[in-house]
């Protein structure tokens, strides 16, 4: 039979092994969450870059279209610029409910899951 001393030593060794395993598991879970979050961020950045390029090309097209209809290309660019200035002002005024809260929720969701 095992003596009490042997049982305690085995128990301490088991607890030590469990603690090391738990620490390793936490490291792996953190690495998984970080890699998932970073890959999502990279995918979002790529989508934003391509979307921005497409948006810019379409904006130039609309500016030229409006300018040619008004017989002055600069009017088209001023009108499109004014529309974007108004949109930017609207987004700035409503930045907390439209931008900050959804982005915070997105990042928290990615970190938690």
Dump pLDDT digits (tens) for 9-23: 888 888 888 999 999
For residues 81 and 75, give the distance between their C-alpha atoms in angstroms, rounded to a whole number.
10
Inter-CA distances, 43 with 14, 20, 30, 103, Å: 43, 35, 20, 15
Dump pLDDT digits (tens) for 47-97: 999 999 999 999 999 999 999 999 999 999 999 999 999 999 999 999 999
For residues 61 and 70, give the distance between their C-alpha atoms in angstroms, rounded to a whole number.
14
Which long-range contacts (C-beta less than 8 Å, at least 24 apart) are formed by 70-79? none
Here the tokens at position 109 are 């969701």
Secondary structure of residue 2 in the 3-state scheme: coil
Is pLDDT of 1 > 70? no
The residue with greater pLDDT, 55 or 30, is 55
Is pLDDT of 112 > 90? no
């Amino acid at each position: 039979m095992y003596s009490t001393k042997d049982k305690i030593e085995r128990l301490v060794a088991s607890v030590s092994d469990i603690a090391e395993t738990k620490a390793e598991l936490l490291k792996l879970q953190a690495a998984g969450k970080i890699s998932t979050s970073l890959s999502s961020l990279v995918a979002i950045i790529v989508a934003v870059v391509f979307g921005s390029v497409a948006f810019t090309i379409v904006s130039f097209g609309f500016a030229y279209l409006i300018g040619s209809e008004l017989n002055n290309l600069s009017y088209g660019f001023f009108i499109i610029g004014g529309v974007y200035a108004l949109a930017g002002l609207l987004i700035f005024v409503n930045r907390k409910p439209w931008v900050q809260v959804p982005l915070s929720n997105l990042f928290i969701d990615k970190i938690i899951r």
